[in-house]
Chain A
Amino acid sequence: MEAVNVKNLVKIYGKDKTAVDDISFSVNQGEIFGLIGPDGAGKTSIFRVLTTLLLPDGGSATVDGFDVVKDYKQIRSRVGYMPGKFSLYQDLSVEENLNFFATIFNTTIAENYHLIKDIYVQLEPFKNRRAGQLSGGMKQKLALCCALIHKPVVLFLDEPTTGVDPVSRKEFWEILQQLKEQNITIVVSTPYMDEANRCDRIAMIQSGQLLSVDTPANIIKSYPEQLYAIKANNMHALLKILHEYNQVKSSYAFGEFAHISFKEPKFNPDQAVTYLETKGLQDIELIKTEVTIEDCFIKLL
């Protein structure tokens, strides 16, 4: 059985603001499934429907086999949800928050301590501190503990790493990997394209619509053109010239380099170097490069 099944899901706000537009996907048990897309893509609306906090306007969805409309009570006891906004009790202590969540799910901290142990040891020195007084990274860890304490079948994490620095982001993904090994299904959303590679499968979403669902490796493999990385002495000038160069299919900045693809598959890239030199650029370096998820996303937009 699939852990999550979403079929032709639609969510409309007000008269005509379509947040989720006929989206279908399924999540296998024990999988880390990523919803990848920018703000406003519809990720949070999907999470809210799946956690039974919002009724869909069309289509259907099940979580752990239960229907999100009919069986909302069963779902609520089976899922853990960490919303994008910190929503624990700011004036309860770390320990009180955790105890509270354990109690409302009819369990105790001791019963499922093994699930949160690795994360909670980092919080333990501050267990008497009020949640509102914690640092951002610590709040995030506490929220994860509270979402896990009743041993959910499926864990929903809405943008857990937004605004978090690259080092803390890496640590957080290592935690998720450990949870996966304990056989918890994880559905996680992120606006950071590089995090897609940490997922078993991803759904790329933009403006309420599904662009693609597959493993990161397959999505990368399906990229249709040879991609090149290019740099020169002046990046801004390089981008402007590439933009107007009629042999170029697409070009955009990508860190130290610009990524480009050519219209003609047989085009000799040395020609491009010569062309750019006549335009006054120097120190040009052009190499074949590997496609990333971000390239695929840009391609699909």
Chain B
Amino acid sequence: MSEIVIKTDKLTKRFGDFIAANEITFKVNKGEIFGFLGANGAGKTTAMRMLCGLSIPSSGQATIAGFDVYKQTEQIKKNIGYMSQKFSLYEDLTVLENINFFGGIYGLTDKELKTKSAQLIDQLGLQLQAKKLVASLPLGWKQKLSFSVAVLHEPKIVFLDEPTGGVDPVTRRQFWDLIYDAADRGVTIFVTTHYMDEAEYCNRISIMVDGVIKALDTPRNLKDTFHANNMDEVFYELARSAKRSE
């Protein structure tokens, strides 16, 4: 039995009368690539914020890396990494400064930072760009760097919110190579995406519709269940019945 790193039980968030996330229950294993899909407004961001310790649930239970989402939000934040398309790096700091800044925030010592930043720059082939402003990097490079920074402190789980939006098809695939490598090292990946081919790269996926998890399984099983040829068709089948949008 593999270790469970995310566990939720009827996790719910209400905003007034509006139930953004409605009794969502699921488990994610260590080292798993878990795709968290849903239409705009289905409640993905709300759910993700609760899992990251940024928003206190209205009811239900959840533990992240063994820590409780009500009482241990600070421990959760230390044990996870996070990146999104919207928030990633500081544009007016250099590559090296960004690595040091985020590494420092995540609690790495100066000594660790020195070796880790050198390793990272080497691994990404950014030797020539290390002292350049992040603003001067192409988007794809920023996203790869941003991911690497989010896992620099070797978190148990990394949350990725549409990490590949707008990225070219080659860089998108290089990005997924980084995800696979991290998963091989035992980092659990929790990722949202609007690219249905990327859903196929996940070990398991959940599809949220109007605040509820409508389906959760491996891509293979979901396609069988819905008699679909690809994930696009599965998604369409489930999400077209959605009543609310954002």
Contact partners of A160 in chain B: CB under 8 A: none
Contacts of A40 in B (CB 8 A): 138-139
Binds B, one of A60-68, A95-103, A179-187, A249-257: A249-257
- Which of B162, B171, B230, B242 is within 8 Å of A167, CB to CB? B242
Quote the shortest CB–CB distance from B39 to chain A (angstroms).
4
Per-residue CB contact flags for chain A residues 115-138 toward chain B (1 = under 8 Å, else 0) read 000000000000000000001111
B218-234: CB near A (< 8 Å → 1, else 0) gives 01000000000011100
Q: Is there an interface contact between B246 and A166, defined as CB atoms closer than 8 Å?
A: no
* Cβ-closest chain A residue relative to B85: A163
A157-173 residues at the B interface, CB under 8 angstroms: 159, 162-168, 170
Let me know if A136 and B245 touch, CB within 8 A: yes
* Cα distance A253–B176 in the bound complex, in angstroms: 9
| A37 adjacent to chain B (CB < 8 Å) | yes
Within 8 A of A (CB), among B193-212: 194-197, 200-201
Whether A138 contacts B168 by the Cβ 8 Å rule is no
Q: Does B235 contact A (CB under 8 A)?
A: yes
- Complex partner residue of A255 from B166, B170, B200, CB under 8 angstroms: B200
Q: CA separation between A39 and B170, bound complex, in Å? A: 13
B168 touches A38 (CB 8 A): yes
Most buried by A among B85, B168, B235, B240: B168
Give A163 to B162 CA distance when docked, in angstroms: 8
On chain B, the residues within 8 Å of A254 by CB distance are 197
Query: Of A166, A207, A297, which contacts B235 at CB under 8 A?
Result: A166
A236 touches B180 (CB 8 A): yes
Which residues of B sit under 8 angstroms from A39, Cβ to Cβ? 139, 166-167
In the complex, besides A167-B236, A170-B236, A206-B168, 7 extra interface pairs with C-beta distance below 8 angstroms are A38-B171, A135-B246, A136-B245, A137-B41, A166-B236, A298-B170, A301-B170
